[in-house]
Amino acid sequence: MAGGMVIQGDTKDYGGKITMFVLMTCLVAATGGLIFGYDLGISGGVTSMDVFLEKFFPSVYRKMQDDTGKTNQYCKFDSQVLTSFTSSLYIAALVASFAASVTTRIFGRKVSMLVGGIIFLIGSALNGAATNVTMLILGRILLGIGVGYANQSVPVYLSEMAPAKLRGALNMGFQLAITIGLLVANLVNYGTAKIKGGYGWRVSLALAAKIRGNQEVEEEFQDLIEASEAAKKIEHPWRNILQPRYRPQLIMSIMIPFFQQFTGINVIMFYAPVLFKTIGFGDDAALMSAVITGLVNMFATFVSIGTVDRVGRRMLFLEGGIQMLICQILVGVILGMKFGVEGVGSMSKLSSYLVLILICAYVAAFAWSWGPLGWLVPSEIFPLEIRSAGQAINVSVNMFFTFIIAQAFLTMLCHMKFGLFFFFAAFVLIMTLFIFFFLPETKNVPIEEMNNIWKKHWFWGKYIPDDAVVGVHHTSTKVSTY
């Protein structure tokens, strides 16, 4: 054991210190988020490339070439087959998360990560070599299985390994890796769009196989095996999580990933080049604008890493929600004024840049609030006896609504037009109120003592029996916030 680490019950206690062992383990494990981020960003870029659209989605390509000014700007990319290319990954990840839960609990993290990694590599190769839409979608499905396995195990592992006082910052390494993957995808798309010969999109899709790099992962695998030994002995985690005493964790594992997707962030991340192209940016400008939002996303994540264990989860959730709400309303107003209901017209450079600034401000708010906290908070609130089931629910709900948003966005944009931004703004308002009333502060609380804060909460306290509270005497005091 490194750095004075001791075992207390079923959890590791590093005495509040950050050791090189903990830091390196968490950094290596968090790189699993790279593949998720890369896949989030790469599809939106290639679907804005003319050569890719002409080969696989000719009807969309023809609408894009219509320069008569009569085509509805909101509807140029409306194609269910096109959205299936993007969204098929997430429905596959949803299904895979349940398989990963069982695999991780029975066979350990090593087997889960190896299986997911191999399937991911096959999917990358299939995408890069695709000659028809079927091959494209099949490749995306295989990528989704790899993503489902990674997202199921990494956030929980990070929460288990990190000392309580640093758990937020270290866990957010996963979200930081996602943002780096997104940025790499946007940079790759910008570069490959300039490749002559019309095969740049193949390079973008195939590079997913290399995004993890050649880092040594055997030590990580061994640590994952040791961390999962106790989990293998747990029976009936799915039956356990339905008990009333776990009601707070069950509700949070459903509502937080649901709300995370209904912030509307994946509208930006999936389709940033498409969206910017729709509102008047040229091909190169659209891809570069996506790079800019990717940079904002990555650097804003550092804000969260530096503050989450000091100001707490609630403060970041609430501030981020308010900022996103304002930005979405303003973007909707600008698009409504410029394109109207008919979607015919154009935007001035000033208006286009203003939209870009507002979207960057929105992305920044997400990157230091709902982005990392949507993975951190669910992963740190599950006790051992429901951890595998709870994280499987968290990932599957996240992937399900990611799939819904990805599949429906272009059609929603076509029919709801600028009102789509008001639609997501309404959800941001609801989720901000949900956090204010129902989420207690979890910073610096050891995982094994998390029931203490639920017991004190004005609403959740009635579900927590006295024998679930660790190390303190129960009182009748209830509070609404921490």
Query: Domains in the chain, start-ordered, CATH in brackets?
Result: 21-468 (1.20.1250.20)
pTM score > 0.85 for this model? no
Take residue 53 and report the two structure tokens written for it.
Answer: 């659209």
- Tens digit of pLDDT per residue, the chain (482 long)? 344 444 443 334 434 455 666 666 566 656 667 777 777 667 766 776 778 888 888 877 777 676 555 566 667 667 777 778 778 888 888 888 888 877 777 776 667 767 777 887 788 888 888 888 888 889 889 888 888 887 776 676 666 666 667 777 777 777 787 888 778 877 787 777 777 666 676 777 776 667 544 444 444 445 444 545 555 556 677 888 999 999 999 999 999 999 999 998 877 766 666 667 766 676 677 677 778 888 898 899 889 988 998 999 999 999 999 999 999 999 889 888 877 766 566 677 788 888 889 999 999 999 999 998 998 898 888 887 787 788 889 888 988 998 888 788 778 878 888 888 999 999 999 999 999 999 999 988 877 788 889 999 999 999 999 887 865 444 433 443 43
User: What is the C-alpha separation between 370 and 322, in angstroms, rounded?
Assistant: 12
Contact criterion met (CB below 8 Å) for 123 and 145 = yes
For helices 32-46 and 283-311, give the axis angle rounded to 10 degrees: 150
Buried b (16+ CB within 10 A) or exposed e, 69-107: eebebbbbbbbeebbbbbbbbbbbbbbbbbbbbebbbee
Q: What is the DSSP letter of 217?
A: -
User: What is the C-alpha separation between 127 and 263, in angstroms, rounded?
Assistant: 29
User: What is the C-alpha separation between 174 and 159, in angstroms, rounded?
Assistant: 11
Q: How confident is the model at residue 316, as a pLDDT?
A: 96
Cα distances from 368 to residues 333, 374, 469, in angstroms, run 25, 10, 31
CB count within 10 Å of CB 349 equals 9
Please identify which residue in the block is written with the tokens 């499905």: 141
Distant-in-sequence, close-in-space partners of 1: CB < 8 Å, separation ≥ 6: none
Tell me which residue of 129, 136, 170 sits closest to 25, measured CA to CA: 170
Tell me which residue of 368, 372, 369, 333 sits closest to 351, measured CA to CA: 333
Q: How confident is the model at residue 208, as a pLDDT?
A: 66
Q: How confident is the model at residue 14, as a pLDDT?
A: 39
